[in-house]
Protein backbone atom coordinates (compact mmCIF):
# COMPACT_ATOMS: atom_id res chain seq x y z
CA UNK A 1 0.00 0.00 0.00
CA UNK A 2 1.37 3.39 -1.03
CA UNK A 3 1.29 6.52 1.09
CA UNK A 4 1.89 10.19 0.22
CA UNK A 5 5.49 11.38 0.58
CA UNK A 6 7.19 14.74 0.34
CA UNK A 7 7.39 15.61 -3.31
CA UNK A 8 11.17 16.17 -3.32
CA UNK A 9 11.63 12.68 -1.87
CA UNK A 10 9.41 11.20 -4.58
CA UNK A 11 11.46 12.94 -7.29
CA UNK A 12 14.77 11.83 -5.77
CA UNK A 13 13.59 8.23 -5.39
CA UNK A 14 12.56 8.20 -9.05
CA UNK A 15 16.06 9.24 -10.08
CA UNK A 16 15.04 12.64 -11.39
CA UNK A 17 17.64 14.52 -9.34
CA UNK A 18 19.24 14.67 -5.93
CA UNK A 19 16.98 15.73 -3.05
CA UNK A 20 18.46 19.24 -3.10
CA UNK A 21 18.09 19.70 -6.85
CA UNK A 22 14.56 18.29 -6.66
CA UNK A 23 13.71 21.13 -4.30
CA UNK A 24 14.98 23.59 -6.90
CA UNK A 25 12.78 21.95 -9.56
CA UNK A 26 9.74 22.43 -7.32
CA UNK A 27 10.55 26.05 -6.47
CA UNK A 28 11.07 26.80 -10.18
CA UNK A 29 7.55 25.56 -10.97
CA UNK A 30 8.74 22.68 -13.14
CA UNK A 31 6.80 19.97 -11.26
CA UNK A 32 3.09 19.21 -11.59
CA UNK A 33 0.89 16.81 -9.64
CA UNK A 34 -2.31 15.80 -11.43
CA UNK A 35 -1.89 18.79 -13.74
CA UNK A 36 -1.35 21.37 -10.98
CA UNK A 37 1.98 23.20 -10.68
CA UNK A 38 3.47 22.67 -7.21
CA UNK A 39 5.85 25.24 -5.73
CA UNK A 40 5.70 24.35 -2.00
CA UNK A 41 8.46 22.16 -0.57
CA UNK A 42 6.11 20.71 2.03
CA UNK A 43 3.71 19.34 -0.60
CA UNK A 44 3.15 15.60 -0.68
CA UNK A 45 2.19 13.17 -3.43
CA UNK A 46 1.56 9.46 -3.85
CA UNK A 47 3.96 8.05 -6.47
CA UNK A 48 1.56 5.19 -7.28
CA UNK A 49 -1.71 7.10 -7.42
CA UNK A 50 -0.79 10.64 -8.52
CA UNK A 51 0.30 11.75 -11.99
CA UNK A 52 3.62 13.49 -11.32
CA UNK A 53 5.47 15.24 -14.15
CA UNK A 54 8.69 17.23 -14.44
CA UNK A 55 8.89 19.60 -17.41
CA UNK A 56 5.85 17.82 -18.81
CA UNK A 57 7.43 14.35 -18.61
CA UNK A 58 6.02 11.69 -16.26
CA UNK A 59 8.27 10.21 -13.58
CA UNK A 60 9.83 6.84 -14.35
CA UNK A 61 8.16 3.98 -12.51
CA UNK A 62 10.03 1.62 -10.18
CA UNK A 63 11.94 -0.88 -12.32
CA UNK A 64 12.05 1.43 -15.36
CA UNK A 65 15.31 1.96 -17.15
CA UNK A 66 16.88 5.29 -16.28
CA UNK A 67 19.18 7.34 -18.51
CA UNK A 68 20.82 10.43 -16.99
CA UNK A 69 23.17 13.23 -18.00
CA UNK A 70 25.33 14.62 -15.20
CA UNK A 71 27.60 17.65 -15.34
CA UNK A 72 30.44 16.10 -13.37
CA UNK A 73 32.45 18.67 -11.40
CA UNK A 74 36.16 18.31 -10.79
CA UNK A 75 37.05 16.44 -7.60
CA UNK A 76 34.80 13.39 -8.03
CA UNK A 77 35.77 9.88 -9.09
CA UNK A 78 33.72 8.07 -11.72
CA UNK A 79 32.91 4.91 -9.79
CA UNK A 80 29.96 3.56 -7.82
CA UNK A 81 32.14 3.15 -4.71
CA UNK A 82 35.66 4.25 -3.88
CA UNK A 83 37.87 2.24 -1.47
CA UNK A 84 39.73 5.46 -0.59
CA UNK A 85 36.42 7.06 0.40
CA UNK A 86 36.74 9.92 -2.05
CA UNK A 87 33.59 11.57 -3.34
CA UNK A 88 32.06 9.67 -6.26
CA UNK A 89 29.64 10.80 -8.94
CA UNK A 90 26.98 8.68 -7.22
CA UNK A 91 26.94 11.28 -4.44
CA UNK A 92 25.46 13.73 -6.97
CA UNK A 93 22.49 11.66 -8.17
CA UNK A 94 19.48 10.10 -6.54
CA UNK A 95 19.82 6.41 -5.60
CA UNK A 96 18.40 4.11 -8.30
CA UNK A 97 18.95 0.31 -8.24
CA UNK A 98 21.68 -0.68 -10.68
CA UNK A 99 22.59 2.89 -11.61
CA UNK A 100 26.21 3.23 -12.76
CA UNK A 101 28.43 5.58 -14.76
CA UNK A 102 28.72 4.98 -18.51
CA UNK A 103 32.44 5.18 -19.18
CA UNK A 104 34.56 7.49 -17.08
CA UNK A 105 35.96 10.96 -16.56
CA UNK A 106 39.07 11.31 -14.45
CA UNK A 107 39.15 13.05 -11.09
CA UNK A 108 40.29 16.43 -12.43
CA UNK A 109 38.08 16.43 -15.55
CA UNK A 110 34.62 17.97 -15.58
CA UNK A 111 31.71 17.78 -17.99
CA UNK A 112 29.20 15.41 -19.49
CA UNK A 113 28.85 11.99 -17.90
CA UNK A 114 26.08 9.52 -18.70
CA UNK A 115 24.62 7.20 -16.06
CA UNK A 116 22.12 4.37 -16.50
CA UNK A 117 20.85 1.08 -15.11
CA UNK A 118 20.65 -0.39 -18.64
CA UNK A 119 23.61 -2.62 -19.47
CA UNK A 120 22.82 -2.70 -23.20
CA UNK A 121 22.96 1.08 -23.29
CA UNK A 122 26.32 1.10 -21.52
CA UNK A 123 27.71 -1.35 -24.09
CA UNK A 124 26.34 0.68 -27.00
CA UNK A 125 28.00 3.87 -25.80
CA UNK A 126 31.33 2.51 -24.56
CA UNK A 127 32.32 -0.50 -26.68
CA UNK A 128 35.33 0.33 -28.87
CA UNK A 129 33.79 -1.17 -31.99
CA UNK A 130 30.99 1.43 -31.91
CA UNK A 131 33.43 4.36 -31.81
CA UNK A 132 31.07 6.88 -30.20
CA UNK A 133 32.50 10.39 -30.57
CA UNK A 134 33.44 12.25 -27.40
CA UNK A 135 34.07 16.00 -27.60
CA UNK A 136 36.17 17.97 -25.11
CA UNK A 137 37.25 21.55 -24.56
CA UNK A 138 40.79 21.78 -23.23
CA UNK A 139 43.05 24.56 -22.00
CA UNK A 140 46.68 23.78 -22.78
CA UNK A 141 49.92 25.11 -21.42
CA UNK A 142 51.73 27.07 -24.12
CA UNK A 143 50.87 27.58 -27.77
CA UNK A 144 51.17 24.40 -29.83
CA UNK A 145 52.17 24.77 -33.46
CA UNK A 146 49.93 23.56 -36.27
CA UNK A 147 52.53 20.88 -36.93
CA UNK A 148 52.11 19.58 -33.35
CA UNK A 149 48.31 19.57 -33.61
CA UNK A 150 48.53 17.84 -36.98
CA UNK A 151 50.28 14.92 -35.29
CA UNK A 152 47.16 14.37 -33.19
CA UNK A 153 44.94 14.68 -36.27
CA UNK A 154 46.93 11.91 -37.94
CA UNK A 155 47.25 9.74 -34.83
CA UNK A 156 50.05 9.62 -32.31
CA UNK A 157 51.74 6.72 -30.53
CA UNK A 158 51.25 6.55 -26.76
CA UNK A 159 52.63 4.00 -24.31
CA UNK A 160 49.61 1.76 -24.95
CA UNK A 161 49.78 2.01 -28.74
CA UNK A 162 48.83 4.36 -31.58
CA UNK A 163 45.70 6.50 -31.30
CA UNK A 164 43.07 6.91 -33.94
CA UNK A 165 43.06 10.30 -35.70
CA UNK A 166 41.53 13.03 -33.56
CA UNK A 167 39.71 16.15 -34.66
CA UNK A 168 41.46 19.16 -33.11
CA UNK A 169 40.33 22.77 -33.55
CA UNK A 170 42.17 25.73 -32.09
CA UNK A 171 39.63 27.98 -30.31
CA UNK A 172 41.89 30.82 -29.17
CA UNK A 173 44.59 31.95 -26.77
CA UNK A 174 44.65 33.47 -23.30
CA UNK A 175 48.05 34.69 -22.16
CA UNK A 176 50.43 31.77 -22.46
CA UNK A 177 47.68 29.14 -22.72
CA UNK A 178 45.66 27.82 -25.66
CA UNK A 179 42.02 26.72 -25.88
CA UNK A 180 41.19 23.82 -28.19
CA UNK A 181 38.29 21.52 -28.98
CA UNK A 182 39.16 17.87 -29.50
CA UNK A 183 37.00 14.96 -30.62
CA UNK A 184 38.07 11.34 -30.17
CA UNK A 185 36.40 7.98 -30.79
CA UNK A 186 38.26 5.96 -28.18
CA UNK A 187 37.97 5.70 -24.41
CA UNK A 188 41.44 4.98 -23.06
CA UNK A 189 42.41 6.07 -19.58
CA UNK A 190 43.32 9.79 -19.52
CA UNK A 191 43.69 9.67 -23.28
CA UNK A 192 43.20 13.37 -24.08
CA UNK A 193 45.63 14.43 -21.38
CA UNK A 194 48.24 11.93 -22.53
CA UNK A 195 47.88 13.00 -26.16
CA UNK A 196 48.68 16.63 -25.38
CA UNK A 197 51.46 15.68 -22.97
CA UNK A 198 53.00 13.74 -25.86
CA UNK A 199 53.29 16.91 -27.96
CA UNK A 200 54.67 18.94 -25.06
CA UNK A 201 51.56 20.94 -24.14
CA UNK A 202 49.96 19.51 -20.96
CA UNK A 203 46.27 20.03 -20.27
CA UNK A 204 45.52 22.62 -17.58
CA UNK A 205 41.71 22.25 -17.67
CA UNK A 206 39.53 19.68 -19.42
CA UNK A 207 35.77 19.49 -19.86
CA UNK A 208 33.74 17.01 -21.90
CA UNK A 209 30.96 18.77 -23.78
CA UNK A 210 29.34 15.96 -25.79
CA UNK A 211 29.03 12.21 -26.20
CA UNK A 212 27.68 11.36 -29.63
CA UNK A 213 24.56 13.52 -30.17
CA UNK A 214 24.16 14.30 -26.45
CA UNK A 215 25.42 17.76 -25.49
CA UNK A 216 26.17 19.20 -22.06
CA UNK A 217 24.43 22.47 -22.92
CA UNK A 218 23.81 24.84 -20.01
CA UNK A 219 23.69 22.16 -17.32
CA UNK A 220 25.49 23.52 -14.26
CA UNK A 221 28.20 21.51 -12.44
CA UNK A 222 26.56 18.94 -10.18
CA UNK A 223 23.21 19.12 -11.95
CA UNK A 224 21.55 16.19 -13.67
CA UNK A 225 18.81 15.69 -16.27
CA UNK A 226 17.14 12.76 -17.99
CA UNK A 227 18.06 11.90 -21.54
CA UNK A 228 15.19 12.57 -23.90
CA UNK A 229 13.63 9.60 -25.73
CA UNK A 230 15.07 11.00 -28.97
CA UNK A 231 18.60 11.12 -27.50
CA UNK A 232 18.31 7.52 -26.28
CA UNK A 233 16.99 6.32 -29.63
CA UNK A 234 19.72 8.16 -31.54
CA UNK A 235 22.49 6.69 -29.39
CA UNK A 236 21.19 3.16 -29.93
CA UNK A 237 20.73 3.78 -33.65
CA UNK A 238 24.29 5.07 -34.03
CA UNK A 239 25.59 1.98 -32.26
CA UNK A 240 23.55 -0.36 -34.49
CA UNK A 241 24.75 1.39 -37.63
CA UNK A 242 28.39 1.16 -36.50
CA UNK A 243 27.91 -2.51 -35.72
CA UNK A 244 26.55 -3.21 -39.18
CA UNK A 245 29.28 -1.25 -40.99
* DSSP H/E element including 97: none
Is residue 16 scored above 80 in pLDDT?
A: no
Domain match, 144 and 197 both: yes
Provide the pLDDT for residue 243: 42
Residue 100 belongs to a domain with what CATH number?
A: 3.30.70.580
Domain match, 150 and 197 both: yes
Per-residue model confidence as pLDDT tens digits over 96-120 = 878 899 988 999 999 999 999 988 8
**Counted domains in the chain:** 3
Provide the pLDDT for residue 244: 40
Domain match, 140 and 31 both: no
Q: Which has more confidence, 101 or 65?
A: 101
Is residue 242 scored above 50 in pLDDT?
A: no
Q: Which has more confidence, 178 or 242?
A: 178
Q: Report the SS3 class of residue 231.
A: helix
Q: What is the pTM of this model?
A: 0.76
Positions marked active-site: 106
Average of pLDDT values for 213-240?
A: 90
Residue 33: domain span: 5-58
Average of pLDDT values for 9-33?
A: 84
Domain match, 140 and 201 both: yes
**Angle between helices 229-244 and 119-126 in degrees, nearest 10:** 60
Residue 28 belongs to a domain with what CATH number?
A: 3.10.290.10
What are the CA-CA distances from residue 90 to residues 17, 207, 211, 227 (Å)? Answer: 11, 19, 19, 17
pLDDT band at 195 (very low <50, low <70, confident <90, very high): very high
Is residue 160 scored above 70 in pLDDT?
A: yes
Provide the pLDDT for residue 11: 85
The whole-angstrom separation of Cα 175 and Cα 9 is 47
Provide the pLDDT for residue 62: 64
Q: Report the SS3 class of residue 171.
A: strand
Average of pLDDT values for 76-87?
A: 92
Amino acid sequence: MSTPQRLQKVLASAGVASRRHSEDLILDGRVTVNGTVIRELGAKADPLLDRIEVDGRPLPKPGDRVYLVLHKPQGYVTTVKDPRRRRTVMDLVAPVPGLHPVGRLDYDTSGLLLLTNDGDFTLAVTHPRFGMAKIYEATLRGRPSELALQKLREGITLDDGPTQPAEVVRLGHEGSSTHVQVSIHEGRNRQVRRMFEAIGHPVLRLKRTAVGPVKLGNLDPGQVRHLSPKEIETLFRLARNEDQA
